[in-house]
Amino acid sequence: MSAEGAPLLQVRGLRVEFGTEDEPLVAVHDVGLTVRRGEFVGLVGESGSGKSLTCRSALRLVRPPGRITRGEISFDGRDVMAMSQEELRSLRAREVGMIFQDPFSSLNPVFRVGEQLAETLRLNAVMPKRQARIEATELLDHVGIPDPDRRYLSYPHELSGGMRQRVMIAIAIAAKPRLLIADEPTTALDVTTQAQILELLARLRQEHDMAVLLVSHDFGVIAQVCDRLAVMYGGYVLETGMVRTLYTRPEHPYTRALLESVPSLESAGSAQRRAAIPGQPPELTETLPGCVFAPRCAHARPECRTISMALEPVGPDHETACPIRPFAAEYAGGEAPSPTVPERAS
C-alpha cells in the first residue's frame, strides 16, 4: 500500500455499550472503519444507526453511561485506546477536527464568534492574541463568510444556520488537522446551503490535503463529495465500497432501499413519491437473531436469521454483510439500479 493509501484512521471490532455490565445495551456492534490519507469517506444510514457514536468513539468522546468495551482504534499507527488524557487532548486539538451536528449548541452564545475562533488558535496553535485575531478573520474569509471583519464581532444568534456551520468548520480546521470528522454538517439547512457546505468541505480537503469522514442520513448528500462509503444500520456496518460501486451495484438490500428512497429530478415533479423503507429501525433494547435488517427486508429468507453479520468481499474494495446477494442475477443481466450517481463537488 502506498503512503497516500495508507490508513490514517483505522477502527476494528468496535463495540459500544450502554446499560449495566450485567445487562448491556449494545449500540455499536464490532464495527470496522478505515479512512486513508487524503480520502473522503461517507458514513450513511438512518438516525440511530450508530454513525455519530462510531465517530465519537474514534476520538474517545463517548460519555457515560456509554462505554467502549471492545475494539482497536488507531490514528496514524498510534493506539488511541492507550493514549493518556494529555495525548488525547493533543490529538483532538491538532490532528483531528470535528464538526458536531448542531452548530448553535456547539458555539458559546455569550461570546463573539471571532473570539471563539481566535481562542482556539491561541490554545492550539500557540500564538499571541493579536496574531490570533488576524488569522481568525482570515479563516472566516477562507470558509466563505462575507465581510469577515464585521462578522468577527457577531454573536452566534446573529448568524444564519449556514454561517454558523461555516464558523464551526473554521474552528475545526484552525489547527490544520489531517482528518476532519463532519457529523451531519448539513442537517436543518436548506438545499442551496447544503450544497455550499459540501462544496466548501470538498475544497478544503483539496487545499489542506486533509482526509474527511462525513456522516449523513442522506445518501444523495453523501455521494456528492465522497470517494468511498460505509453503510450503517442497527449498529452494524452492512456494506462498504466506492461511491459508484454502491450506486450501481449495491449488494445489500438496505443499501438498495436507501438508494430507492433518494428523490430524483424525475420524481420531483410527479405525484409518485419515492419508496420509503417499511417498518422502523430496531430499538437499542431489541436483540435480533442474524441479520438486523431482516424484519424490514423484502428479500429476507429463513437463513437470514442465522447469519453472522460479518462483512465478506464481493468485489474490489467492496464488502457486504448479505450472504444471499439478491441482486446478483439482475447485474448479470446487465441492468443497474435506477438511481444515478450525482455530480461530484469539485
In a domain, 134, yes or no: no
The whole-number pLDDT of residue 3 equals 42
* Residues pairing with 239 in the sheet: 231, 320
- Reported in sequence order, the residue ranges of 93-234 that DSSP labels E, i.e. its strands, are 96-99, 179-183, 211-216, 228-233
CA 324/CA 336 separation, integer angstroms: 18
Low-confidence ranges of the chain (pLDDT < 70): 1-5, 263-274, 332-346
Task: State residue 253's pLDDT score.
Answer: 95
* Position 308 in a domain: yes
Residues 6+ apart with CB under 8 A from 230: 33, 41, 42, 43, 44, 237, 239, 240
Give the pLDDT score at 332.
Answer: 67
Side by side, which strands form the sheet with 78-79? 24-36, 7-19, 67-75, 78-79
Mean pLDDT of the chain: 89
Helices 191-208 and 161-173: crossing angle in degrees, nearest 10, is: 10
**Res 342: pLDDT:** 55
Neighbouring residues of 307: CB distance < 8 A, sequence distance ≥ 6:
290, 291, 321, 323
How far, CA to CA in Å, does 288 sit from each of 25, 111, 269, 285, 293? 12, 47, 39, 10, 9
Please report whether residue 172 resides in a domain: no
Q: Which domain holds residue 44?
A: 7-76+178-266+274-332
> Is residue 247, in this structure, part of any structural domain at all?
yes
| Coil vs helix vs strand at 244 | helix
Per-residue confidence (pLDDT) for residue 333, from 0 to 100: 56
Does residue 257 lie within any of the structural domains?
yes
Is position 167 within any domain? Answer: no
Whether residue 108 lies inside any domain: the answer is no
pLDDT at 168 (0 to 100): 95
**What per-residue confidence (pLDDT) applies to 334?**
53
- Cis? peptide before 103, omega within 30° of 0: no
**CATH code where residue 197 lies:** 3.40.50.300
Q: What pLDDT shows up at residue 103?
A: 73
In a domain, 21, yes or no: yes
Number of domains in the chain: 1
**How big is the chain, counted in residues?**
346
pLDDT of residue 214: 97
Rounded to 5°, the CA angle 16-185-341 comes to 95
